[in-house]
Amino acid sequence: MKMWQISASALKAYIPFSVFRRRIKRQVDLLEKSKLFDRSYYLLQAQDIGIQLSPQRAVWHYVMVGDKLRLSPHRIFDTHYYHEAYTDIEGSGISALYHYITHGAQENRNPHPAFDTSYVKSQTKLTTNPLIDYVESKPGSLNPHKMFDEAYVLHQLSKSHSLTRTVLEEYFEADKNVEPSKQFNAEQYFDRYPGIKNIHPFYHYVRWGIKERRIITGKHDSIDMIKEKIQKMDDLEPDLLKPWQDIDAIGRLNRIVIDSSEESSLVKLYESVRYTGETFIIMMNSLVAGGAEKVAANFSNILSEFDEIKNIIIIVTGYGPRDAIKWFKGSKHVFVDLSDEFSSMNDNSAALMIATFMQLINVRGLLVINSRQGWGLAERHGKVLSRQCSIIVACFCYDYDVYGRRAGYARTHLVHAISSVSHVITDNHAFRSAIIKDLKLDETDAAKVKVVYQPVGIANAPIKATRQQINRKRVLWAGRFSIQKRLDLAFEIAKLMPEIDFVFAGGDLTDVGLPTSQIPLNCTIYGKYEDIDEVLLGEYDAFLYTAKWDGLPNILLEVAVNCVPIIAPNIGGISELVTDETGWIVEKPDEPQSYVQNLQNALNKTSQAAQKASAALELIKNRHSYESFKDIVTGAFFEKVKR
Amino acid sequence: MIDISFIVNLHAEGRICLPTLDTALTAVKYANKHGVVSELILVLDNPDNGTLRLVKNLDFKCRIEITDVRDLGLARNFGVEAAGGKYIAFLDGDDLCCDDWLLKAYEEAVNHDTDCIVHPKFNLFFGRDYDQYFWVHPDCRYDGVKLSRLLVENLWTSSVFAERKIFEKIPYWRNDLKNGIGYEDWVFNIETAVSNVRHIVAPDTIIFIRRNKTSSLLDNSNSVGVVPDILRIFSKMNSKMNVNRII
């Protein structure tokens, strides 16, 4: 067994940069004080995989190594489950438990499949951390899950031993004949699904079984009065009972007493329809302030101007920040957050539930943007729903996986959904052509793919055309700090131009994912921003864009309306905005030197830069105005369906 | 005057229908013995030769009606038209019923004040290599069943018992799986519930439902992704209904 010890010098070598040290220290400080870090339990797990730790090092170990090894800091905090259920956390560089304490609990994420955060909150009515509330609660007073009747379990447990931990913890260590509720019998579940092997049946059910719609049974409904009838029928039908079958051991399923996520979702949706008249539905995965969410807001804001549309329901199907809400204007918008419900529902059930909801109301259209459940709905039930409304899906470009293969809904879902949808919208012609070619669309399906240039607000006076004071020139780079946007390439470009200052906006050092030694000295990290205009107040001589793949990114439109000269790669639909007349298009998008040459031109030829920036502004005024967007939306997509 | 017409729907069940018919006949005789006049009607919808031959060679008398509507819902409607009873009950051609099913359902229906559909209290899902389980039907009189629940989940199987007028007023609709429409029995349950027909159960009754069939309509519906066609029910409504209401 090896000892896990980290000397101060080794630690320094392991975490050479202040940013990482700060990030780790922040987590350690918080978890050291948290009741949700159970040192003795953690040490036991570490021991199981051959790591011996001192209790003082447990939290450090968890933050730096244990989280990646999926060791759990508490019996009812399941690190493996948390990472699997919420994949967005992996890239954030923080541990699962820290995420749950600082964000997850507030966003109703579950720390363990048998612990339903929002259900516990609904019982406590508190805003404090529900898992801590549960751990501190009197046994039997709070149910951690709708399928876990704490008083019922407590009654069974108290017969055998006294409690030292929460009832849920005790339950998982107790004999399998203890039932979590009258509706669930672990032995019957195991008999029905022996493939679960040594996984606890209740754990299996709440983690996978609910989504897979596995059958659960209990022993609560008495069958005494029908046993004779069953016995008699067995004489007639050899397949009815197996030899040696004990009739009493056959499970009983009483659906009505089991809570249904589908039902609560339907009620939430139905109650969100406030006014009589037409309703428009938008399904999106998140409300994080990004390009896709901006497109959703653009459509939604235009639709809210239609008199006949009385309700716009935005169904949010995934977790994450909700900061894009501010982009949705007007009183017709209602946000229905189903992230919680969908986390325990399979996609087919979600699709059927929403299709049912849509048949209950007067729907004008459905727009799907980046929602897996939305794409599933369009694919599975689009054909029948298009009897009553337009079914529209949006895609702007492919994503790419780490192997360089195409990904994203345009790749994975569109080919299956195209025959069921009314329209496919994108924001650039290049991608339209790519879809038609790649999917070999016939004339009818190709006609469904429409390009809608997104509108952008044009201020009376641009923030700044060029900088007044020119000691050192300054270049802005803005966007998500992600692999797609190629921050590393931008740093390389900056390194080749030490005489220029570069400002990077859209993320902070913790998002960089690079050692600080690779960040050139002429670079400044601006941090996250709410509105690009606030960044542009800093006055820049040029805007640099380095994405590896994209559609026609909104950020370029927003920069162009402020007359900042743009240098961008010739990828996706960018050349529909950035041309030799309107900016500098980089023909070799993987070569830093190509960007450098174009940047130098833009920075040195100031009058030409101003000219190009004005041309870009003119193009946007003509093509990306709200008026033209509204005309297209009105005419092309949201026609009334004749019933 | 016939009190109950018991309709067994057949299509291509082959030998499997023999125990079904045995139990149906027993249930009819049991009701008759207790003074409730009952008849057995076999509705064969586009039957295969094997099933047709078996039915023609039965050693007991019953009415045989043949149709070619090629749809389970429409075949049930056809059965209603052919039936002479005040009450009607359906049984699928591969399921089984307990001896007193008709009698107990009849007593429950007769004693209920308003329009109702009677379901068996228990269903035993069985089949070769299938892990049996009981599905316990809810009773709207006691279980506080909400419309919202019925809209997301079919709460009752298709072996129903009700007054003939209910089937005439609210007939079954054709499934159209190719165009994404199915679950005719679920639609029937929703439509009747919305029309204030109460779904109740007859205590101590059981229907035996065979699974692991080579291909069942339910399995087909689930795999191709169909929806219950409820648009035609709700598009007629002028005002917003209360989905939270107890049905």
Q: Report the residue count for chain B.
A: 247
The structure tokens 């089949």 sit at B127
Q: Convert the pLDDT of each residue in A545-588 to its tens digit.
A: 999 999 999 999 999 999 999 999 999 999 999 999 999 999 99
pLDDT category at B91 given cuts 50, 70, 90 is very high
Q: How far apart are CA B161 and CA B88, in angstroms?
A: 6
Ramachandran assignment for A237, one of left (phi > 0), alpha (psi -120 to 50 degrees), beta (any other): beta
pLDDT confidence of residue A195: 92
Same domain, A355 and A399: yes
**Residue A179, token pair as written in the block:** 């039932």
Q: How far apart are CA A366 and CA A423, in angstroms?
A: 10
Which chain A residues contact residue B149 at CB under 8 A?
256, 260, 263
Over its C-alpha atoms, chain B yields an Rg (Å, rounded) of 17
The interaxial angle of helices A487-496 and A592-604, nearest 10 deg, is 60
pLDDT confidence of residue A512: 61
Same domain, A294 and A422: yes
**Structural domain includes residue B245:** no
Q: What is the DSSP string of B101-140?
A: HHHHHHHHHHT-SS-EEEEEEEEEEE-TT---EEEEPP-T
pLDDT confidence of residue B87: 98
Q: What is the DSSP string of A384-440?
A: HHTTTSEEEEE--S-EE-TTS-EESHHHHTHHHHTTT-SEEEES-HHHHHHHHHHTT
Q: Report the residue count for chain A.
A: 643
**Structural domain includes residue B239:** no
Which chain A residues contact residue B15 at CB under 8 A?
none
Which amino acid type is present at position A180?
Answer: P
**Structural domain includes residue A149:** yes
Q: What is the span of the domain harbouring residue B160?
A: 4-234
pLDDT category at A304 given cuts 50, 70, 90 is very high
**Residue A77: helix, strand or coil by DSSP?**
strand
**Residue A199, token pair as written in the block:** 């996984």
Which amino acid type is present at position A633?
Answer: V
CA distance readout (Å), B120 to A188, A293, B151: 24, 50, 21
Report how far apart the first and last C-alpha atoms of chain B are (Å, whole number). Answer: 32
Same domain, A427 and A545: no
Contact A256 B230 (CB under 8 A): no
pLDDT confidence of residue A10: 47
Which amino acid type is present at position A391?
Answer: I
**Structural domain includes residue A642:** no
- pLDDT of residue A535 exceeding 50, the answer is yes
- pLDDT of residue A461 exceeding 90, the answer is no
Find the residue in A nearest to B231 (Cα): A359
Q: What is the mean pLDDT of residues A74-91?
A: 91
pLDDT category at A89 given cuts 50, 70, 90 is confident
pLDDT confidence of residue B201: 96
Nearest-CB residue to B152 (from A240, A348, A356): A356
**Structural domain includes residue A86:** yes
For residue B89, what is the enclosing H or E element? strand B87-92
**Structural domain includes residue A10:** yes
pLDDT confidence of residue B40: 97
Q: How far apart are CA B108 and CA B140, in angstroms?
A: 13
Same domain, A305 and A441: yes
For residue A23, what is the enclosing H or E element? helix A18-33
**Structural domain includes residue A134:** no
**CA distance, residue A552 to nearest chain B CA (Å):** 35
Which amino acid type is present at position A327?
Answer: W
pLDDT category at A13 given cuts 50, 70, 90 is very low
Same domain, A337 and A380: yes
Q: How many CB atoms lie within 10 A of CB B165?
A: 12
Q: What is the span of the domain harbouring residue A208?
A: 140-230+247-253
Asked whether A299 and A328 are in contact (CB, 8 A), the reply is no
Q: How far apart are CA B15 and CA B51, in angstroms?
A: 7
pLDDT category at A2 given cuts 50, 70, 90 is very low
Considering only A620-634, B122-136, B233-247, which range has the smallest mean pLDDT? B233-247
Which chain B residues contact residue A251 at CB under 8 A?
133-134
Same domain, A444 and A478: no
**Structural domain includes residue B190:** yes
Cβ neighbours of residue A415 closer than 8 Å, sequence gap 6 or more = A439
pLDDT category at A378 given cuts 50, 70, 90 is very high
**Residue A198, token pair as written in the block:** 């040594």
Asked whether A384 and A352 are in contact (CB, 8 A), the reply is no
**Structural domain includes residue A597:** yes
Count the domains in chain B.
1
Contact B134 A250 (CB under 8 A): yes
- pLDDT of residue A213 exceeding 80, the answer is yes
Count the domains in chain A.
4
Give backbone dihedrals phi and psi of A413, rounded to 5 degrees, phi first. Answer: -115, -30
Find the residue in A nearest to B229 (Cα): A359
A205 CB-contact burial (10 Å; exposed 0-12 / middle 13-18 / buried 19+): buried
Contact A388 B231 (CB under 8 A): yes
Same domain, A418 and A373: yes
Same domain, A402 and A293: yes
- pLDDT of residue B191 exceeding 60, the answer is yes
pLDDT confidence of residue B221: 66
Q: How far apart are CA A317 and CA A372, in angstroms?
A: 8
Same domain, A442 and A494: no
- pLDDT of residue A3 exceeding 60, the answer is no
- Could you give the dihedral angle defined by the CA atoms of residues B76, B82, B85 and B86, in that order, rounded to the nearest 10 degrees? 70
- pLDDT of residue A4 exceeding 50, the answer is no
Farthest CA pair distance, chain A: 99
Contact A381 B225 (CB under 8 A): yes
Q: How far apart are CA A17 and CA B189, in angstroms?
A: 66
A597 CB-contact burial (10 Å; exposed 0-12 / middle 13-18 / buried 19+): middle
Same domain, A315 and A389: yes
Q: What is the mean pLDDT of residues B97-107?
A: 97
Q: How many CA atoms lie within 13 A of A608 on its CB side?
A: 12
Q: How many CA atoms lie within 13 A of A116 on its CB side?
A: 23
**Structural domain includes residue A502:** yes
E strands of A83-135, at which residues? none
Cα-based angle A439, A440, A445 (whole degrees, multiple of 5): 85
The complex scores an ipTM of 0.94
Q: How far apart are CA B157 and CA B134, in angstroms?
A: 12
- pLDDT of residue A459 exceeding 80, the answer is no
Q: How far apart are CA B9 and CA B55, in angstroms?
A: 12
Q: Convert the pLDDT of each residue in A19-64 to its tens digit.
A: 566 778 889 999 999 999 999 999 999 999 999 999 999 999 999 9
For residue B96, what is the enclosing H or E element? strand B96-97
Find the residue in B nearest to A229 (Cα): B98
Cβ neighbours of residue A166 closer than 8 Å, sequence gap 6 or more = A76, A134, A135, A139, A144
Helices and strands in chain A, H and E counts:
29, 18
Same domain, A437 and A487: no
Q: What is the mean pLDDT of residues B176-199?
A: 94
Asked whether A23 and A510 are in contact (CB, 8 A), the reply is yes
Q: How far apart are CA A337 and CA A360, in angstroms?
A: 19
Asked whether B76 and B9 are in contact (CB, 8 A), the reply is yes
**Boundary residue ending a domain (A436, A451, A466):** A451
Cα-based angle A178, A183, A188 (whole degrees, multiple of 5): 65
Asked whether A479 and A453 are in contact (CB, 8 A), the reply is no
**Residue A503, token pair as written in the block:** 């400002």
pLDDT category at A249 given cuts 50, 70, 90 is confident
Find the residue in A nearest to B225 (Cα): A380
CATH number at residue B121: 3.90.550.10
Find the residue in A nearest to B177 (Cα): A384
Q: How far apart are CA A398 and CA A369, in angstroms?
A: 14
Q: Convert the pLDDT of each residue in A498-529 to its tens digit.
A: 999 999 998 876 666 666 677 888 998 888 88
pLDDT confidence of residue B234: 87
Q: How many pairs of residues across A and B have Cβ atoms under 8 Å apart?
A: 139
Q: How far apart are CA B194 and CA B208, in angstroms?
A: 28
Nearest-CB residue to A226 (from B132, B145, B206): B206
- pLDDT of residue A643 exceeding 70, the answer is no
**Structural domain includes residue B72:** yes
- pLDDT of residue B218 exceeding 70, the answer is no
Find the residue in A nearest to B244 (Cα): A267
The structure tokens 């019957």 sit at A188
**Structural domain includes residue B246:** no
Nearest-CB residue to B208 (from A233, A254, A355): A233
Higher pLDDT, A13 or B228: B228
**Residue A275, token pair as written in the block:** 């006014």
Rounded to the nearest angstrom, the gap between the alpha carbon of residue A393 and the centroid of all alpha carbons in its chain is: 18
Q: How far apart are CA A110 and CA A130, in angstroms?
A: 10
Q: How many CB atoms lie within 10 A of CB B20?
A: 25
**CA distance, residue A47 to nearest chain B CA (Å):** 40
Q: What is the mean pLDDT of residues A429-448?
A: 95
Q: How many CB atoms lie within 10 A of CB A495?
A: 17
Same domain, A529 and A575: yes
Which chain A residues contact residue B230 at CB under 8 A?
356, 359-360
* Disruptive mutation site among A356, A366, A385 for chain B (greatest number of B CBs within 10 Å): A356
Cα-based angle B150, B171, B177 (whole degrees, multiple of 5): 70
**Residue B125, token pair as written in the block:** 């899902």
**Structural domain includes residue A469:** no
Q: What is the mean pLDDT of residues A213-228?
A: 85
- pLDDT of residue A258 exceeding 50, the answer is yes
**Residue B98: helix, strand or coil by DSSP?**
coil
Mean pLDDT score across all residues of chain A: 88
Q: How far apart are CA A146 and CA B186, in angstroms?
A: 26
Q: Convert the pLDDT of each residue in A337-373 to its tens digit.
A: 999 999 889 999 999 999 999 999 999 999 999 999 9
Nearest-CB residue to A252 (from B23, B136, B180): B136
**Residue A511: helix, strand or coil by DSSP?**
helix
**Residue A234, token pair as written in the block:** 């067995």
pLDDT confidence of residue A528: 84
CATH number at residue A321: 3.40.50.2000
**CA distance, residue B179 to nearest chain A CA (Å):** 6
Q: Convert the pLDDT of each residue in B199-214 to its tens digit.
A: 999 999 999 999 875 5
**Structural domain includes residue B247:** no
**Structural domain includes residue B24:** yes
The structure tokens 């057995």 sit at B40
The structure tokens 């202040």 sit at A18
Q: How far apart are CA A301 and CA A308, in angstroms?
A: 14
**Residue A490: helix, strand or coil by DSSP?**
helix
- pLDDT of residue A429 exceeding 60, the answer is yes
